[in-house]
Amino acid sequence: MKALVYREFGGADRFELTDIDTPHIGPDTMLVKVVAAGINPVDYKIREGYLEGLIDTALPAVPGWDVAGIVEKPGLDTPEFQEGDAILAYARTDVVRGGTLAEYVAVPVRTATRKPEALSFEDAAAIPLTGLTALQSVERSGLGEGDTVLIHGAAGGVASFAVQLAVRAGARVIGTASPANHDYLRELGAEPVAYGDGLVDAARALVPDGYDVILDFAGGDSLDSTGALRRDGGHVVSIADPRARTDFGGDYVWVRPNPEQLAHLAELAVAGELRVERSATFTLDDAADAYRSLEEGHTRGKIVVRVS
């Protein structure tokens, strides 16, 4: 089968599109024909070797954990799904080896849910990792009706969902993004502020009494403003900076596969209650360019790769 492969750690120039063996499936995994795959920053962080020590990689490796596709062959014990079922999954495995940027992938049954007919494969592939991260981060923050929430990196893949989920929960959401994304944030229901110089003054002018919740989906120096902006006892959650826990007494979230939550997100999308923002769609042939685009760090919503 055709797959995007890297044989050693490094930049996007390590990618090659090549033929490799179709993956074996275990008793509780299914062979899935990939229709669309979502790409995420964690894929290139792994490829760069930054996450060695946290996540094992068996080279040569195929990147990608997000998939929407069709069950080609169920496993020995995967009665939840039959051949021909359309699924979406956050198909994370303990060892990175056979990812979703390929014509076929072995999907652990514990990560998959049925794709609603009305949801396109591209939109389905855009939801898993980022949607689950957003949902789990919002839940961990405990935010609710009437809370004021500051979201760092509000226009990205994770945050585009998190903004909407926080608004749905009744929160007032202020989101950071470059000015080019401010109208987009307004469409999602957030009040935009620019990150960088002037952020503290602008964010404080909007919420002088301090934020109840700060959600960090950007990392870097985003949490430096926490002391100036959160109210006493305000909850800090980050997916990109462990200081949320060590310095601010909050939570560092590492997303977990959860098929029930994934089904819920897919249903919200079908109902028109969760916008799936896809800024670009590539083919498997130019998937390396999809990663180059993602690695620029300014994707609005998601980039998806159409495989078949």
Q: Which of 29, 141, 181, 258 binds ligand NAP (CB under 6 A)?
A: 181
Are the CB atoms for 142 and 106 separated by under 8 Å? no
Binding mask 143-162 for ligand NAP (x = CB under 6 A): ---------xx-xxxxx---
User: How far, CA to CA in Å, does 47 sit from each of 9, 92, 112?
Assistant: 5, 15, 24
Both tokens assigned to 195: 């990150």
The Cα–Cα gap between 163 and 154 comes to 7
Interaction of residue 174 with ligand NAP, rule CB under 6 A: no
Q: Report the distance separating Cα 190 and Cα 183, nearest Å.
A: 9
Q: Is 188 in the site for ligand NAP (CB under 6 A)?
A: no
Reference 289, options 17, 7, 24; nearest CA is 17
Residue nearest to ligand NAP (CB): 156
Please pick, from the candidates 12, 166, 253, 276, the single residue that binds ligand NAP as defined by CB under 6 A: 253
Report, in Å, the least distance between residue 166 CB and ligand NAP.
15
The helix/strand/coil state of 216 is: strand
Nearer to ligand NAP, 29 or 299 (CB): 299
Tell me if 35 contacts ligand NAP by CB under 6 A.
no
Binding ligand NAP by CB under 6 A: which of 37, 71, 89, 239?
239
Of 15 and 81, which has the nearer Cβ to ligand NAP? 15
Q: Is 49 in the site for ligand NAP (CB under 6 A)?
A: no
> Cα separations (Å) of 165 from 68, 76, 159, 185, 190?
22, 37, 9, 13, 11
User: Which of residues 35 and 253 has its CB atom nearest to ligand NAP in the complex?
Assistant: 253
72-101: contacts with ligand NAP (CB under 6 A): none
Of 88-96, 118-126, 201-209, 253-261, the segment contacting ligand NAP by CB under 6 A is 253-261
Taking the C-alpha atoms of residue 219 and residue 241, their distance in angstroms, rounded to an integer, is 5
Closer CB to ligand NAP, 75 or 301, in the complex = 301
Q: At a CB cut-off of 8 Å and minimum separation 6, what does 141 contact?
A: 149, 213, 215, 235, 237, 250, 251
Minimum separation from the CB atom of position 28 to ligand NAP (A): 23
Q: Sort 208 into a burial class: Cβ within 10 Å, 0-12 / 13-18 / 19+.
A: exposed
Out of 23, 36, 38, 41, the only residue in the binding site for ligand NAP (CB under 6 A) is 41
Q: Does 245 bind ligand NAP (CB under 6 A)?
A: no
Backbone dihedral angles phi then psi of residue 56, each to the nearest 5 degrees: -80, 140
Q: Residue 290: how many CB atoms within 10 A of its CB?
A: 24
Closest to ligand NAP by CB, 78 vs 137, is: 137
Q: Contact region for ligand NAP (CB under 6 A) — 50-58, 81-89, 107-115, 170-178?
A: 170-178
Look up residue 302 and give its amino acid.
K
Nearer to ligand NAP, 220 or 227 (CB): 220
Contact 238, 263 (CB under 8 A): no
Phi/psi-derived region of residue 53, left when phi > 0, alpha when psi is between -120 and 50, beta in every other case? left
> Binding mask 192-211 vs ligand NAP (x if CB under 6 A, - otherwise)?
---x----------------
Given the rule CB under 6 A, which residues bind ligand NAP? 40-42, 45, 129-130, 133, 152-153, 155-159, 176-178, 181, 195, 217-220, 222, 239-240, 253-255, 294, 297-300
